[in-house]
Chains A and B, each alone.
Chain A
Amino acid sequence: MQPLLSQACWDTLYMVGWSTLIAVVGGLPLGILLVLTDRGGLLQNVLANKVIGQIVNIARSMPFIILMVALMTFTRWITGTTIGREAAIVPLAIGAIPFFARLVETAVREVDGGLVEAVQAMGGNTWTVVRKVLVPESLPSLIASTTTTIVALIGYSAMAGTVGAGGLGDIAIRYGYQRFETELMWITVAILAVVISLIQFAGDYAARSLHRRGGRSGPAPKLRLLKASTATSKTV
């Protein structure tokens, strides 16, 4: 039982870790682009904004299990297989990119336009604005968004068991639901709860300590993002 569980833990972390990394790398620029290309944005381009927005919406409203099936060809092309951990990372990451991008968009929109203007008045270009203003000023919110994404990914990764990727969720379903080994199921549920709490705690702590340093007034970004994530999780 012990090796089974530790293998499952490791599988979950592996899948979630890689897919989070890819989601951040892909979602961050996408979210920023959504803000910049919007009406009145620095790179205003209404058509591009509509197109990106639509793609993000469609991808985000796709149930994960369907996404996994729909992406099979693509997954095989990337990883050479459609089963196992590596194969699960592809749909997880692709599902999480638009999810994270929307959170990034919300966070970046919160940045005071006056700061953008100040940097423009200093002679900064759009790239400078992104690097020196948009990202650092929304960092606490971005960290909170990442936490939300990780937690959501842990949830999705349970479904990845259906393609033989293993992981904690897979154990809970296979042993608990299908074989009525409730003890094992409860243990995995407990482990999941602890892992999620730890991640949430670490994320909140990081966001809050940055936030305190900046000391801005207004509600903590966490609350806003939690609201955003409950709204989005309905459509997932």
Chain B
Amino acid sequence: MSRNPLTAVAISGIGNSGFYPRGTSPDPDFRLVLKALFAACEDAGINPKEIDGLASYCGPVTDPRRIACALGLKELRYASLQWASGGGGTSAAFANAASAIIAGLADVVAVVRSVKMDVGARYGQFGGAYGGGSVETVSGYGFRGADKAPYGVLSSATTLSFQANRLVEDAGVPRSAFSAVSRASYHHAQQNPDALMNGRPLSAERYEESRWIAEPYKLYDCCLENDGAIAAILVSAERAKNLKTKPVHLLAAGETMSFRADSGAFNWPDLCSGAFRDLAPRLYRQAGIGPQDVDVVQVYENFVPGVVMALEEFGFCTYENAGEVLTFENLIAQGGKLPLNTSGGNLAEAYVLGMGHVVEGVRQIRGSSSNQVQDANIVLATAGPLTPMTSALILGSGDVL
């Protein structure tokens, strides 16, 4: 029997609100959140009124007090927000939800996150999604801080491109690896009816001919901008046995921030890192497995070179062999040895701050993915390469406990 305390928890429900191109959702943010929660509860066969815990990340988020009022929850016993930047906190929110159940703080915990972009407010735009109005002064050394914005380092793409250029120029990873990762996501989206890029396949030529954003990022190295919400329901493994769906267990979960990783002007030792260097070995130890045991990998793509860094840090390739390992044929669910982002991920399904990677991991273990990998029992899902704080999960079927 396993002595890993996390395996006492299972993910029993997953659901989404439907995904919409940026700014086109007919629903306001709060309704997207409720729709995702209802869908996840329906999936599990749990009455939404049974939710007694809520976990999320990357604030500001939908206020748990509003959700509890709206659903008429008899008592909300647990509400947590992980302190991540961007999608770095997805897996950590699941870890927090699981911890609450293990500690007896709550019994039915929903993890939920939405993305709703007003028309005109874009991730790439200064004063847009994160700012609001015209910004005339800046101070401090964070995102768009005084060390960055006055020099034109404004967008997420620009800010996170320095590290990627070291991956190309210093570590020698060929651009073909980026193209392969991007095309694999688009390939998977063609089988996934929920994916925003369903019906819009990406050829190697179109990838290569796409415009530069900030070198080495081309257009198709960047995540989507869209509206939508995703939720998941966690319960004890005991309770999960009696619910509608096949339980999916957490084998390992954790978050990480390495030495000085948020210091101004990129003053931490290794920029050629997706920020999983410390976490990866810890997760494998906790799960009692190694990279060779992982059947499917879901890696958060804000920008594709970060995916390559995450794959290297989790032991799926080295920078020396990345060009040979990361090929289109090898990354697709249909016969690839390293099936990656099998729903289309942030690039081609929808960008809901990494929630899509976890719920696709759940589908793979249930056997219900639109790009099903045969006998998928162990899935790695990572959140937020290149962000100062990142997190990751290893999911497993009951067969591997």
**Does chain A bind chain B?**
no
What residues make up the interface of A, taking CB atoms closer than 8 Å to B? none
What residues make up the interface of B, taking CB atoms closer than 8 Å to A? none
